Amino acid sequence: MVSRSLDGNKKQIIWFLEPKDDKGVAFLKIEHENKDDEMRMWLPAFNKVRRISSKKKGDSFMGSDLSYEDLSNRDIDDHTYNRIDDEIIDEKSCYVLEVIPNSKVRSSYSKHITWIDKESLMIIKEQSFDRRGALKKKKKFSHSELNGYFVMNSVFVEDVQKNHKTEVSFDELRVDTGISPNLFQEKNLKRLPRN
């Protein structure tokens, strides 16, 4: 995965190398303030780029327990936040927030309970509830500090309604590598990077 923040917008491009059946599939996300994120998926088996609309954000990402919505930026103004009592999670002092999407937001969730590490301000745990208010997903995040930045090492997601789990880990993390903003274009989805 390659990621860059520029002018307040975060851009990500992911190329899948494994499993073999998914090799060459690519995903591009460009976050925007005050409007929906742009998401595109290159599907080499169909020789086409598919745009992920806001109506499809609840769909599974690559057959995992993460949805496109789980990968999306949450605009702070599109949610209501309620502070809950602080807690200690994995020996880390955490703020605990109830995060409720406003009525104008198209979401497959009614709310999230989010634990934020007070030191790094990174999310370390989250529970997401479906539209009926039932617990849908439990998420756990691990982070480390790299050259002065807090970066995510892994995310573990359990869909409690489907009794299924997914873990995504990032092995080779680098920061400040001078990535060109021109990389984050639809045409580059088709160009599998060389190792």
pLDDT digits over 131-141, tens only? 999 999 999 99
User: Does 19 reside within a domain?
Assistant: yes
User: Does 154 reside within a domain?
Assistant: yes
Q: Which residue has the higher pLDDT, 129 or 25?
A: 129
User: Does 195 reside within a domain?
Assistant: no
| DSSP three-state, residue 187 | helix
Quick one: pLDDT band at residue 127, thresholds 50, 70, 90? very high
User: Does 55 reside within a domain?
Assistant: yes
Burial of 13 (0-12, 13-18, 19+ CB in 10 A): buried
CATH at 46: 2.50.20.10
How many independent structural domains does the chain possess? 1
Average of pLDDT values for 58-85?
89
Q: Which residue has the higher pLDDT, 117 or 68?
A: 117
Express as a percent the part of the chain with pLDDT over 90: 39
Average of pLDDT values for 61-70?
88
Q: What integer pLDDT is reported at residue 7 of this predicted model? A: 62
DSSP for 129-143 reads: EETTS-EEEEEEEEE
pLDDT digits over 30-50, tens only? 887 777 788 899 998 889 999
